[in-house]
Amino acid sequence: QVTLVESGGGLAQPGGSLRLSCVASKMRLGLYDVNWYRQTPGKQREMVATIGRDGRTNYADSVSGRFTVSRDNAENSAYLQMNTLKPEDTAVYYCNARLRSTNYWGQGTQVTVSS
């Protein structure tokens, strides 16, 4: 069974950093575009960063300059480095792997930014 497992969430202070990881099993993550989404209660899931199979990246305006998405195909993994965190970054973060109409999702990891 294909799985994506996120880790690295937790509690951070405003201005702090966290690094999220997404590890894929039973699939070659390198064949997929990888997207990071986040969601807060009562709101739609929002894409925050994406890294294509070719390594090109794109970011939501709200995180541009603070977050960095990367991937290590040899490790079948992707990462989201989050710096200068703000309270409004508090959300559950999800890893998504997409290839045409095929989508895989992780279970999510909670990020809370609070003093």
What are the pLDDT digits (tens) for 3-43? 999 999 999 999 999 999 999 999 999 999 999 999 999 99
One-letter amino acid at 52 equals G
- Residue 103 pLDDT: 95
Q: What is the pLDDT of residues 39-83, one digit of tens each?
A: 999 999 999 999 999 999 999 999 999 999 999 999 999 999 999
Q: What is the mean pLDDT of residues 80-100?
A: 97
- Residue 104 pLDDT: 96
- Per the CB < 8 A criterion, the answer to whether 94 and 44 are in contact is no
